[in-house]
Amino acid sequence: GLRNRRLDAALTLRPSAAAMHGLKFEPVMRYPAGIVCSLEDPVARETSVRIPSIKGRDLVTYRTKEFPNYFQWISKVLGVRRSELRINAECDDALGIVAAVESGRGIAVTGQFINAIAGRRVHFVPFTSTTHSLEVGLLYRRSAPSERVKQLLQAISTRTPQ
C-alpha cells in the first residue's frame, strides 16, 4: 500500500532494515514482549514467564507471508533456530492468534499490545527478562510525505513519551 501510493502511512511494527528502502519509521510505543496463553494454562496464573520455561511448547504464530520478520524475531527471543520451533497453528492476524490460543492450540509469543484485541479471552504474561520488546510506529514514504502524514508526525512529536 505505501509503495504503490494507495496508503499515505501505516501504523505497524518496526520493519526490518531491508524492508525500509524509501520508507521511514517514526516510533510511537514500545510494548513488552511475552506470551499469550489460554486462561486454563498454568502459566496464566504467573506474573511473568522465563523464556527457557516455554521452549519446546506448541506455538501459535503469524503466517510468514503476512509477517515475514516474525519468525526471525521469535527465534531470536527464544534462542532457537526456526527449524526448532514447534508450530501448531499459523494465523493471518492478531484475532486469529487470539482464537487459536483460546482454543488451546498453543501459546503465542507477542507484544502486550495484543491485550487491546484479546480482552479477557486469553492472558498475556510478560517475559521475566525485559530485553525483548516490540515497537509500534508510523511507517511512511521518506520522500514528500503528505499533509496528513505531517500532521500525524506533529501529533507524535508533541505527545508524552511512553
Greatest pairwise CA separation for the chain in angstroms: 51
Task: Look at residue 105 in the predicted model and tell me its pLDDT.
Answer: 97
Pairing status of strand 133-141 against strand 59-62? unpaired
Residue 123, pLDDT above cutoff 80:
yes
Q: Taking phi first (over 0 means left), then psi (-120 to 50 degrees means alpha), and beta for anything else, what does residue 128 get?
A: alpha
Please state the rounded mean pLDDT for residues 9-21. Answer: 86
Asked if residue 26 lies in contact with residue 141, where contact means CB atoms within 8 angstroms, the answer is no
Higher pLDDT pick, 106 / 156? 106
Residue 161, pLDDT above cutoff 60:
no
**Which residue, among 111, 158, 105, has the nearest Cα to 136 in the 3D structure?**
111
Distance CA 104, CA 58 (A): 10
Task: Look at residue 160 in the predicted model and tell me its pLDDT.
Answer: 58
Beta carbons within 10 angstroms of residue 51's beta carbon: 19
Least confident of 49-53, 110-114, 127-131: 127-131
pLDDT in tens, 25-82: 999 999 999 999 999 999 999 999 999 999 899 999 999 887 878 888 899 999 999 8
Residue 162, pLDDT above cutoff 60:
no
- Strand stretches in 39-126, DSSP E: 59-62, 87-91, 108-111, 122-126
% pLDDT > 90, the chain: 60
